[in-house]
Amino acid sequence: MRLPTETRRAVASDPKRRQGRLLARSCGPGFRPARAVLGPDHPFTRAVEAVDRAGKQALAVGALLVGSIVDLSAGAAWAGAVALSAAIVLLGLVIVIAVLVQGRRDRAHDLILDGDESLPIAGVQRERRRLAAPRTQRLMARTIDGVVEQALNPPRICPRGARPLFKIAVVASVADDLHAISRALRAEHACIQGVVLAERLLSDGQSPLYGDQARLLREELHRIQKAL
């Protein structure tokens, strides 16, 4: 039986009900908000909410930008300055959101490394699926192979802008360990914690891969091999 028209309108206009529906959509079926699972002070919860706040700000500024462009096309002289300011702010927010999204991903990785990859939180499960995907693991393996190839067969002439970020001698000394990790990733049955560590090795500019200590890099590679 359908609700009476006035009742349906009241339900649709109820902000709490509307917020609940939006939350259910964002979490997905079977998922729960990070705040409900981990609490408001957990690093992952704070990271999720920081992304949400920045996203809402970006939407508001975007709406202001669109409105000012419409007014400018209608001949409002003041709208040009507003549109320019809104565009600059929106660009800054996009950069901030990109940084915050990476922070949210890092906090999801922390949970996975702690053995909490089964938590019913959309962001954690999204990262778990991405890392478990054979395509993701093959891409990591190809990246590792490329690093080893550059280290073992460096070009004789290397322009300053094309120099590798890693120390060639350091990486060349652990080539066998890197190849072992590449093979484990290609085998498509790698443990998810090991995949997280492998991605951090490649993506974190502070990882031993980009340092000058072969011993530290070898220790980290052995840790990754054991986790895989």
Quick: pLDDT tens for 177-192: 999 999 999 987 889 9
Average pLDDT, the chain: 84
Q: Residue 74's pLDDT band (boundaries 50, 70, 90)? A: confident
The full set of domain ranges for the chain reads: 30-124, 133-227
Q: Residue 67's pLDDT band (boundaries 50, 70, 90)? A: very high
Quick: pLDDT tens for 6-34: 433 443 444 434 434 434 444 456 788 99
Spatial neighbors of 104 by CB under 8 A, at least 6 apart, are 44, 47, 48, 50, 51, 123
Quick: pLDDT tens for 94-150: 999 999 999 999 999 999 999 888 899 999 999 999 999 999 999 999 999 999 998
